[in-house]
Chain A
Amino acid sequence: MHIMDLVDNSIAARASRVYVGIREDRKQERLHILIEDNGAGMDQETLKAAQDPFFSTKNGKSFGLGLSLFAQAARESGGRLQVDSRPGGGTKIHAEFGLSHPDRKPLGDIEKTMVVLQASHPEIEFSFDYETQI
């Protein structure tokens, strides 16, 4: 759910390329999720506010739950979220989760998510990676 939500932000930021990478690091007990786009990006002020659930860049909206819920999900599993972005330079979101943490939310059917996103937005070049490190 979170991945689809964040990729929807990339679409709204007029990205033409979106990369989703998932890496299970079983040795370190971490799950890494990376979402990278070449969309409009955010300045420092917007970036800081983006993790506030009562903030949205979208016109007429005062709420923006996507990034703040993702950050909360990462924290609940003993992980963290890092966002790098600059105006005109795209956005890179790196989330780290405790792989076997009881409060880590399941990934769900991420392949299906990527397929429906690509099929409904053929103008965007999506790429996807899933790597398991034992």
Chain B
Amino acid sequence: MKLKPEDLNKIRERMKSTSRLREAEGKAKINVHLGTCGIASGAREILHTFLELVEASGADDVLVTTSGCAGLCKREPMATIEIAGQAPVKYVDLTPEKVKKVFEEHIKGGTVVKEYALAVGSERLG
């Protein structure tokens, strides 16, 4: 058993202090869909890869969070990327390799990776 109770506390404090998006100052929000379908398709690895990339880049204006099933289980794992001031983009059939490209080109570079994108827009109604 390697994970100690204080390790989770440290992660919580570090993420709290480095995330400015909650105060609406951030640049990007990465939302990984963690419904049963997403988890079964490998969403945990997708979430883990995004978190590692954000940490390695030192970005303090990129928020990584999760939500439930987006309603398109067949295309999981999925993630929605929201860059401040732009329409959200939903990426489908993700793999850690695809995540690296999305992070470099879309989140850091500002260019949508069209070949992995399902559509531009949000699944939310109303």
Contacts and interface: CB of A to CB of B under 8 A. Distances in A.
A115 interface: yes
B8 A127 contact: yes
Given A114-B3, A115-B11, A121 B36 contact: no
Contacts of A49: none
B51 interface: yes
A59 B7 CA distance: 35
Contacts of A111: 2-3
Given A116-B47, A116-B51, A130 B12 contact: no
22 contacts: A1-B40, A4-B39, A5-B34, A8-B39, A8-B66, A8-B68, A11-B66, A61-B69, A66-B36, A69-B36, A112-B48, A115-B7, A115-B48, A116-B44, A120-B47, A122-B12, A122-B13, A126-B8, A126-B12, A127-B8, A128-B3, A130-B3
B65 A121 contact: yes
B19 A112 contact: no
Contacts of B15: 118-119, 122
Interface string B1-38: 11101011001110110010010000000001011100
Interface in A33-89: 58, 60-61, 65-66, 69
Interface of B: 1-3, 5, 7-8, 11-13, 15-16, 19, 22, 32, 34-36, 39-40, 44, 47-48, 51, 64-66, 68-69, 125
Interface residues of A, number: 30
> Chain A's interface: helix, strand, loop or mixed, by majority?
helix
A115 B5 CA distance: 11
Contacts of B13: 122
A12 B34 CA distance: 11
Contacts of B2: 111
A122 B19 contact: yes
Contacts, number: 73
A97 B21 CA distance: 41
Contacts of A12: 68
Nearest to B65: A120
Given A4-B39, A118-B8, A122-B19, A58 B47 contact: no
B3 A119 contact: no
A113 interface: yes
Contacts of A129: 5
A27 B32 CA distance: 40
Nearest to B15: A122
